[in-house]
Amino acid sequence: MRVKFFIAKVLSFVPDKLFSIIKYSLYHKKIPNLNGSSFSEKLLSKKCGLMGSEEKQLRETVTDRLLVRDFVEKTTSGVDLIPLLWSGKVFTKKVWDGLPECFVIKARHGSQMVKIVDKNKCQFNEVYNATEEWKKTDYYLLGREWVYKNTPRELVVEEFISFNSDVPPDYKFFCLNGKVELVQIDLERFKDHKRNLYSRDFEQLDVKLIYPSGEPTKKPRLFESALGIAEKLSQEFDFIRVDLYILDEKIYFGELTNFPENGLGAFEPQSYDQALGAKMRSNNA
């Protein structure tokens, strides 16, 4: 990761739009058309900031791990927010002492800066040092996702939600114009990452997105409720990915994602990229 950030700093002189187009070309192996009809091209146009000021402000708000909680509470019911245990600028020993044995600490200003903490397995200094590194990190510069540029470099701590003594499966709902069109399920993402893709009717698709498919997943009892929640949360967007944790009796909110895989994830087969894009009508069209 440090090497990636070093390279990002070296290339900081390259304009965001040009940087994103070049990276897209390398990952998707084609030169994009910002007015193109595929899903990845439409996502790229948004990553290049081709939208109105109100939409930009909304996308910045829902990216912030703290501010998005208010958005969720105002937008829908039936979904639980993972209890917030603490938020602030500096993770001190006093804060550590006041937290339970297990918790999850995250940075507000970027993805991948997340740590599941078990006090029986790690020490305060280890967690503190990690959070200090996070705060030094300009996550926006790494992938030029402008939604992170103005987010405060602060921390949030949430309760650890277990699922059969493990991390719960992560359900990611791709919502296009307020309707779920694709469901991504990530399995064992901290061990041997697998990824299954499903239709809104929970039919497994013969489509791959970066990771290999895993064993078929049983449809959760609360899947239809989660689908409705995702669609309510997505009503103001032409595209947003709604991430939820579906447990036996509860649905927990995870996050709202503007640019999945930084817009660089290529579907296999490529024809699915076109098919998904055909279902997306841009708010700026």
Domains and CATH numbers, the chain: 1-79+168-285 (3.30.470), 83-160 (no CATH)
Nearest to 232 by CA among 74, 57, 71, 75: 75
pLDDT digits (tens, 9 = 90+) for 232-276: 999 999 999 999 999 988 999 999 999 999 999 999 999 999 999
Q: Which of 42-56, 73-87, 160-174, 211-225 has the lowest mean pLDDT?
A: 160-174
**DSSP state letter for 166:** B
DSSP for 177-227, written as a single string: TTEEEEEEEEESTTSS-EEEEE-TT-PBPS-EESBPP-SPPPPPTTHHHHH
Backbone torsions φ then ψ of 75, nearest 5 degrees = -95, -35
pLDDT given at position 285: 55
pLDDT in tens, 19-35: 999 999 999 999 999 99
Q: Compute, in degrees rounded to 10, the torsion defined by CA atoms 61, 48, 17, 34.
A: 170
Q: What is the pLDDT of residues 63-112, one digit of tens each?
A: 999 999 999 999 998 999 999 999 999 999 999 999 999 999 999 999 88
State the chain's mean pLDDT as an integer. Answer: 94
CA quadruple 74, 110, 246, 162: dihedral sign: negative
Is the pLDDT at 281 greater than 70? The verdict is: yes
Write out pLDDT tens, residues 103-136: 999 999 998 899 999 999 999 999 999 999 999 9
Q: What percent of the chain has pLDDT over 70?
A: 96
* CA-closest candidate to residue 213, choices 224, 221, 202, 205: 205
Distance between CA atoms of residues 282 and 43, nearest Å: 10
d(CA 30, CA 127): 41
Q: Is the dihedral of CA 14, 21, 280, 258 positive or negative?
A: negative
Report d(CA 249, CA 256) in Å as an integer: 22
User: Rounded distance, CA 270 to CA 141, Å?
Assistant: 28
pLDDT on residue 190: 65
Cβ–Cβ under 8 Å, residues 163 and 171: no
Q: What is the mean pLDDT of residues 215-239?
A: 96
Which pTM was predicted?
Answer: 0.94
Q: Decide: 170 and 114 in contact? Cβ < 8 Å.
A: no
The whole-number average pLDDT for the span 167-176 is: 88
